[in-house]
């Protein structure tokens, strides 16, 4: 609860207030409900089931307001002012502290404020409800006993520090940074702590949430919005936009236009709240690392007029600097390499996602697998191989691993033997992790084309032969799980052992589609695009028919971008986009082809002069054997990753 001058005044004048206002308590409650200072629950608390007299109701009202904090108490004094019922109250109103803590002197606000807020919560709550994008997992979740919600959120460990300092240079790969020991000034915290701090009213600050690819930033945002929407008592008004969507707005727009188009249901109240109670607004901007417009904090012209049209980069700069919508709080999420785009001086606090602890990983598998037997087999496997367990600090890997390893009913696990796994095991000794492991991980990530011809690794779980597996192989298995599932049709019970035998055929058939998908993913990474339109898909012959259709529906999700209403597609997760891009890249290079040649665009040309590039490629092709050629290409890939410094190609490089 935020304590301020109005909270204190309310306590100090409690006796007088009860004396002067008890006869008006019902009317006061109604007004406070209308401006959103009280909720329905509060009203019934104040009324005490209709059994209380007016003085007791008034006392209850003051207690509830005090419990709600400074913003509610301030609203109360404004309501009194608007009533001007007696001199006593006016003298009290005169004691309201001056503006500056985020409230208005412009009256009690629009009518039906609370209804609008409730509607807004309904809409955002639904938009941010827990989802699992894969239908095979949704089927598993619905067949398991756990509820949808528990199926999709496991507690995660975070740290918090006041402000932040820009690291001089990232020597480490981003993925290796997850769960790192943090600096002494950082404080470990839970999701609930973050929630509490961001949803407290009023606040006026810029917070950053940093986390490596797949560490769960978007999930934290979804969960935060979901929790807020469920809390009928929260007076915060959350607005949430993603940089991915802002990328689509290439024409200048005014902030007012943008917000009112996006939140048309808030039209009657948003301008008033922005004007009078900005401290109630939390604006979430998700995925700074994906933003394609430059953020020029030094050079962008100052703009404090929400009606003026601005480029997206300028708009974000002016929001973060507090020129546009002064007084609101902002949460920006980003992969670590891109957080430095926001100058440290503007940042009040930095949250970093440290990932899943061992217990949290175990819990994740218990929730996401369809039976305790499978969950314990998967966890047994993951925990016995330290590099995999380290990677599973990242939730996206847990998701991939769980999809790859436990996506069928246990009957399938027991009926296939290890002899169907000729190509997916590796020689890295189990448990051979040490501090250097993470830095060496990139070397593990070289797949061979034969990776595609093996069946899924879930068989290892029951065979008793626990063997190490690379991250690349896990992703391959993830794809295979989807392919096999769709190749043979599916039912609630999962596919038959027969369908596992058919895996190689399905994989063979899908190889051209995977290549095209990989080329699209690769082109997207080079252009820093994560949303694609129908024309992009067509240019890579992704025609969405037959088997490829069902598969593509899983891997490429269709969206109507809410800011533009255009039909668009994105990979199920950015890590899958990066994996497919890398797979395409490596397979092209291994077969002696130039990974850029299949892109049918000017991207490669822009990065390397055409002639030089051609000469180099053909000479290299003649002189080098495929593996050496691959190594050379991988080096190039690393150098772009380094160049971009936004972390969006980290997994690709791995």
Ligand X SMILES: Nc1ncnc2c1ncn2[C@@H]1O[C@H](COP(=O)(O)OP(=O)(O)OP(=O)(O)O)[C@@H](O)[C@H]1O
Rounded to the nearest whole angstrom, what is the least distance from the CB of residue 593 to ligand X in the complex?
Answer: 28
**Of 470 and 574, which has the nearer Cβ to ligand X?**
574
SS3 per-residue string spanning 3-16: CCHHHHHHHHCHHH
Binding site for ligand X (CB under 6 A): 152-154, 156, 211, 213-219, 287, 335, 364, 395-396, 399, 573-575
Query: 332 forms bridges with which residues in the sheet?
Result: 208, 285
**Of 447 and 647, which has the nearer Cβ to ligand X?**
647
**Of 540 and 571, which has the nearer Cβ to ligand X?**
571
Rounded to the nearest whole angstrom, what is the least distance from the CB of residue 227 to ligand X in the complex?
Answer: 13
**Of 218 and 513, which has the nearer Cβ to ligand X?**
218
Q: How many CB atoms lie within 10 A of CB 613?
A: 16
**Of 70 and 578, which has the nearer Cβ to ligand X?**
578
**CA angle 210-469-528, nearest 5°?**
40
Rounded to the nearest whole angstrom, what is the least distance from the CB of residue 558 to ligand X in the complex?
Answer: 17
SS3 per-residue string spanning 257-275: HHHHHHCHHHCCCHHHHHH
Rounded to the nearest whole angstrom, what is the least distance from the CB of residue 510 to ligand X in the complex?
Answer: 23
Q: Which helix (H) or strand (E) holds 209?
A: strand 206-210
Q: Give the residue nearest to ligand X (CB).
A: 216
**Cα 646 to Cα 336: distance, rounded to the nearest angstrom:** 8
Return all residues near 367 (Cβ < 8 A) that are at least 6 apart: 146, 150, 151, 154
**Of 335 and 480, which has the nearer Cβ to ligand X?**
335
Of 485, 500, 474, the closest CA to residue 378 belongs to: 474
**Cα 178 to Cα 212: distance, rounded to the nearest angstrom:** 7
Rounded to the nearest whole angstrom, what is the least distance from the CB of residue 277 to ligand X in the complex?
Answer: 30
Alpha helices (runs of H) in 385-469, residue ranges in sequence order: 386-391, 395-405, 410-415, 437-444, 458-463
**Cα 642 to Cα 434: distance, rounded to the nearest angstrom:** 25
Backbone angles phi, psi at 154, to 5 degrees: -115, 145
Rounded to the nearest whole angstrom, what is the least distance from the CB of residue 22 to ligand X in the complex?
Answer: 48
Whose tokens are 């190490």? That residue is 468
**Of 33 and 399, which has the nearer Cβ to ligand X?**
399
Rounded to the nearest whole angstrom, what is the least distance from the CB of residue 124 to ligand X in the complex?
Answer: 17
Rounded to the nearest whole angstrom, what is the least distance from the CB of residue 429 to ligand X in the complex?
Answer: 28
**CA angle 283-288-289, nearest 5°?**
165
**Of 274 and 580, which has the nearer Cβ to ligand X?**
580
**Of 151 and 629, which has the nearer Cβ to ligand X?**
151
State how beta strands 157-162 and 187-189 pair: antiparallel
Rounded to the nearest whole angstrom, what is the least distance from the CB of residue 335 to ligand X in the complex?
Answer: 5
- Asked if omega into 562 is within 30° of 0 (cis), the reply is no
SS3 per-residue string spanning 486-542: HHCCCCCCCCCHHHHHCHHHHHHHHHHHHHHHHHHHHHHHHHCCCCECHHHHHHCCC
């Amino acid at each position: 609860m935020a304590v301020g001058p109005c909270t204190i005044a309310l306590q100090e004048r409690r006796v007088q207030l009860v004396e002067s206002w008890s006869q008006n308590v019902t009317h006061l409650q109604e007004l406070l409900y209308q401006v959103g200072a009280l909720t329905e629950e509060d009203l019934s608390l104040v009324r005490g089931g209709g059994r209380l007299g007016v003085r007791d109701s008034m006392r209850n009202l003051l207690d509830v307001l005090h419990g709600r904090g400074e913003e509610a108490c301030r609203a109360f004094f404004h309501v009194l002012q608007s009533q001007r019922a007696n001199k006593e109250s006016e003298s009290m109103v005169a004691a309201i502290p001056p503006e500056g803590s985020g409230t208005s002197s412009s009256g009690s606000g629009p009518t039906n404020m609370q209804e609008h807020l409730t509607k807004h919560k309904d809409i955002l709550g639904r938009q941010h409800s827990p989802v699992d994008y894969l239908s095979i997992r949704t089927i598993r979740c619905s067949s398991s006993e756990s509820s949808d919600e528990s199926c999709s959120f496991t507690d995660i460990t975070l740290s918090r520090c006041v402000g932040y300092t820009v690291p001089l240079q990232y020597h480490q790969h981003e993925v290796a940074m997850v769960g790192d020991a943090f600096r002494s000034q950082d404080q470990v915290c839970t999701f609930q702590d973050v929630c509490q701090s961001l949803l407290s009213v009023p606040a006026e600050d810029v917070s950053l949430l940093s986390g490596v690819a797949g560490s769960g930033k978007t999930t934290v945002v979804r969960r935060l919005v979901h929790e807020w929407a469920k809390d009928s008592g929260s007076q915060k008004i959350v607005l949430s936009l993603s940089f991915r969507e802002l990328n689509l707005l290439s024409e200048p727009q005014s902030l007012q236009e943008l917000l009112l188009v996006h939140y048309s249901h808030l039209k009657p109240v948003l301008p008033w709240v922005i004007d009078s109670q900005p401290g109630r607004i939390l604006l979430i901007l998700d995925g700074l690392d994906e933003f394609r417009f430059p953020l020029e904090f030094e050079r962008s012209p100052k703009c404090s007029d929400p009606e003026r049209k601005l480029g997206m980069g300028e708009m974000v700069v002016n929001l973060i600097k507090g020129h546009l919508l002064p007084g609101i709080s902002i949460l920006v999420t980003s992969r670590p390499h891109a957080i430095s785009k926001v100058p440290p001086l503007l940042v009040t606090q930095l949250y970093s996602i440290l990932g899943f602890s061992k217990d949290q990983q175990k819990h994740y598998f218990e929730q996401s697998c369809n039976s305790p037997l499978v969950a314990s087999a998967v966890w047994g496997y993951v925990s016995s191989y330290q590099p995999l367990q380290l990677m599973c600090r990242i939730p996206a890997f847990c998701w991939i691993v769980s999809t790859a390893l436990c996506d069928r009913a246990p009957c399938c696990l027991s009926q296939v033997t290890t002899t169907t796994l000729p190509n997916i095991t590796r020689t890295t000794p189990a448990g051979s992790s040490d501090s250097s492991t993470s830095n060496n991980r990139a070397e593990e990530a070289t797949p061979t084309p034969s990776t595609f011809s093996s069946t899924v690794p879930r068989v290892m779980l029951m065979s008793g032969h626990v063997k190490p597996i690379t991250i690349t192989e896990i992703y391959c298995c993830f794809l295979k799980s989807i392919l096999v599932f769709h190749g043979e049709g599916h039912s609630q019970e999962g596919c038959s052992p027969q369908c596992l035998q058919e895996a190689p055929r399905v994989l063979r058939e899908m190889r051209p589609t995977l290549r095209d998908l990989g080329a699209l993913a690769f082109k997207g990474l080079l252009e820093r695009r994560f949303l694609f339109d129908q024309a992009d898909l067509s240019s890579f012959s992704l025609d969405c028919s037959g088997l490829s259709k069902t598969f593509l529906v899983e891997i490429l999700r269709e969206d109507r971008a809410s800011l533009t209403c255009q039909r668009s597609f994105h990979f199920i997760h950015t890590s899958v986009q990066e994996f497919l891009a890398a797979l395409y890249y490596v397979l092209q290079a291994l077969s002696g082809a130039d990974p850029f040649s299949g892109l049918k665009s000017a991207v490669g040309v822009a990065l390397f002069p055409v002639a030089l590039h051609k000469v180099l490629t053909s000479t290299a092709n003649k002189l080098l054997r495929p593996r050496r050629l691959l190594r050379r290409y991988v080096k190039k890939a690393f150098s772009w990753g380094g160049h971009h410094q936004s972390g969006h190609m980290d997994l690709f490089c791995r």
